[in-house]
Structure 1
Amino acid sequence: MIPDPESGGINESLYDVQFSDPDGVLVDRSSASPADLAQVTRIMTALVALRDAEESLAEASSRYMLLNRTDMRALHFLIVSQNLDEPVTPGALASHLGISTASTTKLLDRLERGGHVVREPHPTDRRALIIRITPETRAAAMETVGRQQARRFNAAARLSPGDREVVIGFLEDMAKELSVEGISWADPG
């Protein structure tokens, strides 16, 4: 079966293992029926559509808030931490974001200049500071990005409990399969 370019066939075939790995070098599909292959392709295509939708939402959110993705992740962390009544130190934020303390200082300077966060004395450690999101930024994030992201809940809630368990198992398994830990990257040169 050759993809039909007129019907968007190449785009539709990008995640079809029959076209991305026609010789079966990467995936042994000898025991898979054509129906199984078609269904797996639909899953892969749906995952890509989800990733694309999330990337578009992240880009639109960043444009709206005039912030980059790391800034947006920092604000999300601060909102959840505030909801849990957990103070956030610069070190905790650096750890969550996986960035250096120097990068965290630059991030906080930028967010503070933009009126998105304030630095305050730590309630129990006189030597430390905590970071709080400003009420205005919190409200803007919740009403725009937060409201859009919350729609994920609706899609998950529409599933039956059994279907949710299947999806959870699939996504956890997929995350393990895609983990870069333990991968030995060959030198292409």
Structure 2
Amino acid sequence: MVDMGERRMPIAAAMHDPRITDRDEALVPRAGMTDDEVADVVRVMESLQRWHDAAARMSAASERYMRLNHTDMRAIRFLIAARNQGAVATPGALAAYLGISSAATTKLLDRLERGGHVTRGAHPTDRRALALTVTEHTRHDARETVGRQHARRFAVAAALEPAEREVVVRFLDALAATGDGVPEPQVE
């Protein structure tokens, strides 16, 4: 517990409270905010952390169920989305989406093909390209795991009033933009 004068706060909750982590306001200016307003913002940050933790647990559970890693799952979702749109997925398009090299894409596709998750075939219009397809078994498994999770999240968003959804979208977009320009760690 962290001592906050008259009240004590669990350490995990204190991690989101700038009154604890940034007492001198070097990073988080709070001028003009009441203690209650700061507490409300901390509640938002704690709620975001709970969502982040829940999303990580859901992703990990899906990955374990399907015996795939995070990049493999992203590839499967991309290939399913392409199929659902009637688009031909190619290794190049998959590499661009995942942000990986063609060599890494080849290794990923070899692994997914060995696991019975994807097939590679002739592209219908480009003799130089391959067409990638998710197997029916993998599509079904992804639908039963990731698809059902997405359906529950969609229902939560659908339950909001249109004006509430707009506030949430603005907030999440602004939050996502806080990551713009953050340098990637250098690997040596």
- Common topology (TM > 0.5): yes
Cα distance, 1:146 vs. partner? 1.3
- The Cα RMSD (Å) is 1.9
1:34-83 Cα distance to aligned partner (Å, 9 max, x none): 11101100000011111111111111111100000000000001111110
Q: Show the counterpart of 2:41.
A: 40
Q: Is the 8 A contact 1:87 1:131 kept in 2?
A: yes
Q: Work out the CA distance in 2 between the residues paired with 1:79 and 1:167.
A: 27
Aligned pairs, number? 182
Q: Work out the CA distance in 2 between the residues paired with 1:163 and 1:145.
A: 25
Listed as ranges, the gaps of 5+ residues in structure 1 are none
Aligned to 1:150, what secondary structure does the other structure show?
helix
Please tell me the residue identity of whatever aligns with 1:173.
Answer: A
Cα distance, 1:8 vs. partner? 6.4
The answer to whether residue 91 in structure 2 is matched with residue 90 in structure 1 is yes
Please tell me the residue identity of whatever aligns with 1:62.
Answer: E
Listed as ranges, the gaps of 5+ residues in structure 2 are none
Q: Is the 8 A contact 2:3 2:9 kept in 1?
A: no
Please report the TM-score for the alignment, with normalisation by the length of structure 1: 0.91
Q: Show the counterpart of 1:115.
A: 116
Q: Is the 8 A contact 2:89 2:133 kept in 1?
A: yes
Q: How does 1:66-105 map to 2 (within 5 A)?
A: 66-105=67-106
Q: Is the 8 A contact 2:62 2:146 kept in 1?
A: yes
Please report the TM-score for the alignment, with normalisation by the length of structure 2: 0.92
Cα distance, 1:184 vs. partner? 6.3
Q: How does 1:1-189 map to 2 (within 5 A)?
A: 2=3, 9-179=10-180, 181=181, 183=182
Q: Work out the CA distance in 2 between the residues paired with 1:150 and 1:16.
A: 33
